[in-house]
């Protein structure tokens, strides 16, 4: 099993390889990729070891091959289907952001509790009423859910999508979620992140003045 952090970096490496290298570049050294990703060369080599990709000494890694190898590991055979629940400001922003990116991941359904949004295309994606969560998730074989609902609703929505078969949740609601241990959960609380940044910013400022 590939560790958490490594998967995140692999995703970044691939993105860099697909369009951020000098056009025409065939080979790439670990220190070049490291420099682009702002990590150490050793880190890059260890990450690539995790997916079993192997370059050649004195030549480095083949850009195309590497990018494909990462894709095979991260995306698997068929791309995952994604749903987003909660078409508020944040939800709409994320949907339209994701639409603009090439990715194996496609948001194929969105949900909102506001019935007036139901049945319409919003930000380029069909929006269903929340009552249809189970039905649509099962029908479209959705395995990943993004939650951008208010704190009060988050746990209930999480329970429902899990019950319907979702295996991974990306949670933007500022509340901890209780999910079965076989569901992967990633929390992205904006406030917590901001408070963390502010804390370390202050530490840095104090260290400097001292």
Partner DNA sequence: TGGTAGTTGTGAAAACAGTAACAGCGTTAC
Partner DNA sequence: GTAACGCTGTTACTGTTTTCACAACTACCA
Structure-token pair, residue 147: 């939650």
Q: Which of 10, 30, 91, 111 binds DNA (CB under 7 A)?
A: 30
Q: Which of 53, 111, 128, 172 binds DNA (CB under 7 A)?
A: 53
Out of a second copy, DNA, none, which partner does residue 203 contact, by CB within 5 to 8 A per kind? a second copy
CA-based torsion, 119, 82, 90, 152: positive or negative: positive
Q: Which of 80, 118, 122, 164 binds a second copy (CB under 8 A)?
A: 80
Q: Which of 19, 23, 24, 57 binds DNA (CB under 7 A)?
A: 57
The number of CA neighbours under 13 Å toward the Cβ of 154 is 22
Residue 192 neighbours by CB under 8 Å, 6+ apart: 174
Q: Which of 54, 64, 120, 204 binds DNA (CB under 7 A)?
A: 54
What CA–CA distance (Å, rounded) separates 51 from 74? 9
Told to check if 134 binds a second copy by CB under 8 A, we report: no
In three state form, how does the secondary structure of 43-85 look? Answer: HHHHHHHHCCCCCECCCEEEHHHHHHHHHHHHHCCCCCEEEEE
Q: Which of 21, 118, 164, 170 binds a second copy (CB under 8 A)?
A: 170
Number of residues that bind a second copy (CB under 8 A): 65
Q: Measured from the CB of residue 36, what is the shortest distance to DNA in angstroms?
A: 13
What CA–CA distance (Å, rounded) separates 209 from 185? 40
Out of DNA, a second copy, none, which partner does residue 25 contact, by CB within 5 to 8 A per kind? none
Told to check if 43 binds DNA by CB under 7 A, we report: yes
Q: Residue 42 or 205: which CB sits closer to DNA?
A: 42
Residue bearing tokens 């390889």: 17
Q: Which positions lie near DNA, rule CB under 7 A?
A: 3-6, 29-31, 39-43, 45-46, 48-49, 53-61
Q: Which positions lie near a second copy, rule CB under 8 A?
A: 1-2, 4, 7-8, 11-12, 15, 36-38, 73-76, 80, 82, 88-90, 92-94, 96-98, 101, 103, 105, 143-144, 146, 166-170, 174, 176-178, 182-184, 186, 188-205, 207-208
């Amino acid at each position: 099993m590939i560790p958490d952090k490594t998967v995140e970096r692999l995703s970044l490496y691939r993105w860099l390889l697909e369009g951020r290298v000098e056009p025409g570049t065939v080979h790439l050294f670990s220190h070049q990729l490291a420099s682009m990703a702002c990590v150490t060369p050793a880190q890059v080599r260890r990450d690539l070891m995790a997916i079993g990709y192997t370059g050649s000494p004195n030549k480095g890694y083949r850009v195309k091959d590497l990018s494909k190898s990462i894709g095979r590991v991260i995306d698997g055979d068929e791309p995952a289907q994604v749903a987003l629940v909660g078409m508020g400001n944040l939800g709409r922003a994320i949907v339209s952001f994701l639409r603009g990116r090439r990715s194996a991941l496609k948001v194929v359904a969105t949900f909102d509790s506001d019935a007036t949004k139901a049945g319409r295309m919003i930000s380029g994606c069909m929006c269903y009423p929340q009552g249809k969560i189970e039905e649509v998730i099962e029908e479209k074989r959705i395995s990943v859910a993004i939650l951008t609902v208010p704190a009060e609703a988050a746990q209930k929505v999480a329970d429902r999508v899990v019950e319907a078969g979702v295996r991974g949740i990306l949670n933007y609601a500022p509340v901890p979620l209780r999910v079965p241990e076989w569901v992967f959960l990633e929390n992205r609380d904006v406030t917590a992140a901001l408070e963390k940044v502010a804390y370390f910013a202050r530490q840095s400022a104090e260290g400097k003045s001292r």
